[in-house]
Amino acid sequence: MTAAVPPEIPESRGTPELDDRPRSLGPGRVLIAVYAVMALAATARSVVQLATRAAEAPLAYGLSAFAAVVYVVATLALAHNGPRARVVAWVAVSVELVGVLAVGALSLGAPQDFPDETVWSVFGVGYGFVPLVLPVLGLVYLSRTRPGRAAT
């Protein structure tokens, strides 16, 4: 048996059809680093909350765990360059924005349902509003680094 030979990948730098520059340079690297910190913080918070006090505020702690998953997925998707990773990044960052807006509004409108804070409570006040600003920056970054733009 002979091994399959991968097809030639044409050089695409400078062509408007495909921009293969890695997104993890410059501002992208900073954005990915902030997402990684948020993923670590949200994961640690949710693990401690669920392991020690799950019965006290199951909705809040479950939302912290969900936020952690969203941050991990967004971090990994933003760090990889490829069409599938971009789709996953768009979905994850969009879910993050909807989540922080919904949980933020619910935590203000129905505080009795949130006896303890989540990552997204009150629009991320416990994290300096980073959870509110981060998905906006992520969506702007994704829109400005789309593969179809001309490489310069």
Domain holding 61, by residue range, is 27-144
Position 18 in a domain: no
Number of domains in the chain: 1
Residue 126 has pLDDT above 70, yes or no: yes
List, for residues 24-35, the tens digit of each pLDDT value. 568 889 999 999
Q: Is residue 95 part of a domain?
A: yes
Q: Is residue 137 very low, low, confident or very high in pLDDT (cuts 50, 70, 90)?
A: very high
Give the pLDDT band of residue 2 (cuts 50, 70, 90).
low
46 lies in a domain? yes
- Residue 152 located in a structural domain: no
CA distances from 65 to 22, 26, 61 (A): 30, 30, 6
pLDDT digits (tens, 9 = 90+) for 40-68: 999 999 999 999 998 998 988 999 999 99
**8 within some domain:** no
Q: Is residue 85 included in any domain, yes or no?
A: yes
DSSP H helices, the chain, are: 27-53, 58-79, 83-109, 130-144
What is the per-residue pLDDT for 1?
Answer: 53
List C-alpha distances in Å: 38 to 2, 10, 15, 44, 149: 46, 37, 35, 10, 29
Q: Is residue 151 part of a domain?
A: no
Distances (CA, A) of 34 to 14, 72, 110: 30, 11, 29
For position 145, what pLDDT does the model report? 85
Q: Is residue 49 part of a domain?
A: yes
Residue 51 and residue 28: Cα distance in Å, rounded?
34
| Higher per-residue confidence, 134 vs 1 | 134
- Amino acid at residue number 36: A
Instruction: Tell whether the model's pLDDT for residue 105 goes beyond 80.
Output: yes
Q: pTM for the complete prediction?
A: 0.80
